[in-house]
Amino acid sequence: MVNKESVDYTLYLVTDSTMLPEGKTLLFQVEQGLKNGVTMVQLREKDTDAKTFVAEALAVKKICDSFNVPLIINDRVDVALAIDASGIHVGQEDIPIPMVRKLVGPDKIVGWSVGKVEEVDRLAEWGPDMIDYIGVGTVFETQTKKDIKKIPMGPEGVSRILTRLEEKKCDWIRTVAIGGLHPDNIGRVLFQAQALNGKRSVDGISIVSDIMASHDAGQSTRILRQILDKGSFHFFEGSEEAKDASTIKENVKKLAPLIHHITNRVHQNFGANVALAIGCSPIMSEVAEEFEDLSKIPHSVLLLNSGTVADISVLQHAVKTYNAQKRPIVFDPVGFSASSARLVLNKKVLSAGQFACIKGNTGEIMGVSGLGGNMKGVDSCGEDTLETRIKATQLVAFKYRTVAVCTGEIDVVADGSVSSTAPLKRGLGASPAELPYELIKGEDVPLFGRITASGCSLGTVIAGFIGAAAEESIYSAVLQAVSLYKLAGTKANVTAKGSGSFLVGLVDNLYNVMEE
């Protein structure tokens, strides 16, 4: 009889014998996993006849018992009882949970697949004696589960489930994330998937193909374990020279970061001039084949502006490439929910990687935060009060563990990258409202709204400053960039004779304030 409190969900292997590499057996892969850090096993063999399934289950149970690791049986309650497994896992389309619990009794572990918050509401109604853990997914695209109907929920979808569990006070429930999890993305899931009250993160992750289809299941398991066991995550390696935050502006001039723009046509020319004005070197490229080379150029930084015409696969490739190179990315979710097509595109980009900064106008930030309604065009709604804007900016910072910027007459900057830790189980320990933020005030500069790409080009300046900063000073870099941009605009406004001279004046003043 298993002690439910002591179950370790950290690395939960779910088997699949249809993907075994040549010469590897189910038992071999499972044993390699157990030897290298798997803490829980689920036998999930969808199209195996009962006799074979029972034989496999008995063999797997023998191995799990020798490692003192619980064995869960997928779907087949009869087999789970027949071999005295530690528990049973069922999906939404399987035997109803209350029946399962009645069949297996109170001591067995019962797991359920959950993809929607309504399913959390149901398990909350059933109370603490029904379900012990839930598999939350699918987080990313997966080829393993054939009949997957759910669209990938991303780390933010996991956060939504965790938040609901907290709202419904389901303290007894443990959670594992599942679906398309691999070494290149589990760090981000652990880092970003947090309940909004800061009191719950996932208890572990569940893996199928990364181990079951591996030619070296032991090595694959060790790699996954290393990521799970480290307490903090570092997504951006600042350049050596960028260590001292106080001289970011001098670093921008000295290091001349490469700002790789993937942006809309209107912003391309003006953004390049703004980059040059502050002493950076711009490149505008949607040529996916060159992204890796560009990300390797010292002090490179990616500015992704979703007003671009590039295909979503190009944007996702750019995000993965810069994340792999540990170089920062600034994301400007232009017109976040102005159309359903843009909403889908922006959400896909948001779940594709880790961003150093997410910058938008009020409508965009309200949209990304989940607080806002729909937007008209790409102009911000503007009717939101300052405290709502602060709340939305902190929410974006928290959800994506990034530095969030909400532009307006008063710019709001919030820092969600705090503490780079991502402890399993007990959550971040901070809620969105506790995140540090600053207001960048200044005079109103209406002419900003009368020129092209003024918001987009703030992204260029933010990217330039982040490119010259160390990871721990990204918040400071963004604050300095936003302040400098506002100062240049205010100065340009004084001498402007209209929108044309304002545009030229803005570039002149960006150039001059960098020299001061």
Ligand X SMILES: Cc1nc(C(=O)O)sc1CCOP(=O)(O)O
Binding residues for ligand X, per CB under 6 A?
14, 113, 135, 137-138, 142, 144-145, 178-181, 207-209
DSSP track, 63-125:
HHHHHT--EEEES-HHHHHHTT-SEEEE-TTSS-HHHHHHHH-TTSEEEEEE-SHHHHHHHHH
H-helix segments, 263-334: 265-277, 291-296, 312-324
Rounded Cα distance between 474 and 143, Å, is: 37
Rounded Cα distance between 153 and 27, Å, is: 32
Q: Which is nearer to ligand X, 185 or 457 (CB)?
A: 185
Q: Which is nearer to ligand IFP, 86 or 380 (CB)?
A: 86
The answer to the question of residue 17 lying near ligand IFP (CB under 6 A) is no
Q: State the binding partner of 499 from Mg ion, ligand X, ligand IFP, none, CB within 5 to 8 A by kind.
A: none
The DSSP H or E segment spanning 437 is: strand 437-440
Here the tokens at position 249 are: 């502006």
Q: Which of 33, 70, 87, 111 lies at the binding interface for ligand IFP (CB under 6 A)?
A: 111
The answer to the question of residue 39 lying near ligand IFP (CB under 6 A) is no
Told to judge if 456 belongs to the known catalytic residues of this protein, a careful annotator would answer yes
The widest CA-to-CA distance across the chain, in whole angstroms, is 85
State the minimum distance, in angstroms, from the CB of residue 115 to ligand X. 6
Spell out, one character per residue from 40 to 69, where the chain touches ligand IFP: x when CB under 6 A holds, - when not. --x-x-------------------------
Helix then strand then coil, % of the chain, to nearest 5: 45, 15, 40
Measured in degrees and rounded to the nearest 5, phi and psi for residue 282 equal -85, 150
State the minimum distance, in angstroms, from the CB of residue 267 to Mg ion. 9
Q: State the binding partner of 475 from Mg ion, ligand IFP, ligand X, none, CB within 5 to 8 A by kind.
A: none
The answer to the question of residue 178 lying near ligand IFP (CB under 6 A) is yes
Q: Which is nearer to ligand X, 116 or 253 (CB)?
A: 116
State the minimum distance, in angstroms, from the CB of residue 42 to ligand X. 8
Binding residue count for ligand IFP, defined by CB under 6 A: 14
State the minimum distance, in angstroms, from the CB of residue 220 to ligand X. 11
Q: State the binding partner of 455 from ligand IFP, ligand X, Mg ion, none, CB within 5 to 8 A by kind.
A: Mg ion
3-class secondary structure, 349: helix
Kindly give, in sequence order, each residue whose CB lies less than 8 Å from that of residue 212, ignoring residues fewer than 6 positions away.
Answer: 13, 15, 16, 17, 19, 20, 29
Rounded Cα distance between 206 and 179, Å, is: 8
For residue 225, the tally of other CB atoms under 10 A from its CB is 17
Catalytic residue chosen out of the listed positions 170, 280, 357, 456: 456
Q: State the binding partner of 42 from Mg ion, ligand X, ligand IFP, none, CB within 5 to 8 A by kind.
A: ligand IFP
The DSSP H or E segment spanning 463 is: helix 454-467
Q: Which is nearer to ligand IFP, 87 or 328 (CB)?
A: 87
Measured in degrees and rounded to the nearest 5, phi and psi for residue 262 equal -115, 100
Which residue of this chain has its Cβ atom nearest to Mg ion in the complex? 455
Q: Which is nearer to ligand IFP, 41 or 458 (CB)?
A: 41
Which amino acids are annotated catalytic? 456
Q: Which stretches of the chain bind ligand IFP, using CB under 6 A?
A: 12, 14, 42, 44, 74, 89, 91, 111, 113, 135, 137, 176, 178, 206
